[in-house]
A and B are shown apart, each in its own frame.
Chain A
Amino acid sequence: GAVVSQHPSWVICKSGTSVKIECRSLDFQATTMFWYRQFPKQSLMLMATSNEGSKATYEQGVEKDKFLINHASLTLSTLTVTSAHPEDSSFYICSARGQSALGEQYFGPGTRLTVT
């Protein structure tokens, strides 16, 4: 149990375009989802926390107009990188926490974004 999927697993886009990444909890309802960014050989950097039906809470320094997060249902959250630039190239990972979970997060496999 506790499986989280992400789509796509990798994407290449041109500078100035927008990219949407989907995160789904497949076998549980996720009341809270998290979006992370990870640079090579570095730890996870939390970008935002989203609760179903509510606006996302962004970490300091993360541009909410650039990284749009929508948590429309208990099984789906999306991250849209708007007007992407090469510096947005990174590994993006989502995680989900269920209603009854006592804190542990279940992570998706990640999405590798390359902006050319």
Chain B
Amino acid sequence: EDQVTQSPEALRLQEGESSSLNCSYTVSGLRGLFWYRQDPGKGPEFLFTLYSAGEEKEKERLKATLTKKESFLHITAPKPEDSATYLCAVQANTNAGKSTFGDGTTLTVKP
């Protein structure tokens, strides 16, 4: 069974204080690993797809990396508007195309 574990559950940072969110996964044949951002009361917003170990993707202050067992979402010099819940999900080559989601990391950035 595919599993995704995200840590920490919650993270509080001062504005400008860089950090990383972790997503550990087990999957039988990785098709893709996805990062989403979810604001309260809204649907998740797609951020990145990573397909193979060693791959990196960047968008503004966010950089996602992937190894064979985990992914990191690095946040450089965060701003208060980066506050949100970040969700990680994996999709196996099988499993009818469904994604398995982690429970998310809730990031709060204080000014």
Which residues of chain B from 72 to 111 have any CB-CB distance to chain A below 8 Å in the complex?
87, 91, 96-99, 101-104
Indicate which residue in A2, A57, A105, A109 contacts B99 across the interface (CB closer than 8 Å).
A105
A103 to B106, CA, bound (A): 24
Of all chain A residues, the one with the shortest Cβ separation from B49 is A104
User: Measuring CB to CB, which residues of chain A are less than 8 angstroms from any residue of chain B?
Assistant: 2, 4, 6, 32, 34, 42-44, 46, 49, 57, 91, 93, 95, 97, 102-110, 112
Q: How large is the interface on B (under 10, 10 to 19, 20 to 34, 35 or more residues)?
A: 20 to 34
In contact, A46 and B98 (Cβ under 8 angstroms): yes
Q: CB-CB < 8 A to A6: which residues of B?
A: 43
Q: CB-CB < 8 A to A105: which residues of B?
A: 34, 46, 99
Which residues of chain B from 19 to 74 have any CB-CB distance to chain A below 8 Å in the complex?
31-32, 34, 36, 41-46, 49, 51
In contact, B41 and A95 (Cβ under 8 angstroms): no
A91 to B94, CA, bound (A): 28
